[in-house]
Amino acid sequence: MPAILSALASGLLFGLGLIVSQMVNPAKVLSFLDVFGDWDPSLALVMGGAVTASALGTVIAGHRRAPVLARRLEIPTRRDLDPRLIGGAALFGIGWGLVGLCPGPAFTAITFGPWQVLVFVVAMIAGMALFRILPSDWPRATFRREPVGASDDA
């Protein structure tokens, strides 16, 4: 139960931070991304604060023997870059640049945002579901060529 309450409190604090920082306002985000136009650098402070908090949390976690509300600390060890990771990051960036929303702010903005935010979230969830049902080696499996002479027609 303490882990659930901690997750709830963290999520509420995160959502409140998104609202206060205006990360849920697509116009604000798009003006931050428009570096060659009417650029609004204020979200750089938000990102700087997030990076600082994350770095401090990582340092503190590294000095603890175990987490407060879990049995062990799980830190990802995988460091390789594969086409799916790069493609997903590019797709995320393109989507963020086109509409000014990413998953966290979009879920937060559902509570008070326009109907377009709901459409975005539904499309995002559909994309996540599609990812779950695609084979893990997609798209390579789709475009795999048969070796010469391996045809069933022979």
Binned average pLDDT, 10 residues per bin, the chain of 154 residues = 89 91 90 91 91 92 84 84 87 88 89 87 90 76 58 54
42 occurs within a structural domain: yes
CA distances from residue 74 to 1, 69, 77, 123 in whole angstroms, order as listed: 20, 12, 9, 30
Return the pLDDT at 45: 92
Return the pLDDT at 139: 64
Return the pLDDT at 149: 60
The model's pTM: 0.70
141 occurs within a structural domain: no
The span from the CA of 83 to the CA of 137, in Å, is 10
Give the domain extent around 120: 2-133
152 occurs within a structural domain: no
Return the pLDDT at 129: 92
Q: Are 124 and 106 in contact (CB under 8 A)?
A: yes
62 occurs within a structural domain: yes
Return the pLDDT at 153: 56
Return the pLDDT at 131: 82
Question: Residue 93: how many CB atoms within 10 A of its CB?
Answer: 12
112 occurs within a structural domain: yes
145 occurs within a structural domain: no
Residue 52 tokens, joined: 């600082």
Return the pLDDT at 72: 82
48 occurs within a structural domain: yes
Return the pLDDT at 51: 95
Residue 78 tokens, joined: 């995988």
138 occurs within a structural domain: no
Total domains in the fold of the chain: 1
Return the pLDDT at 44: 92
Return the pLDDT at 143: 56
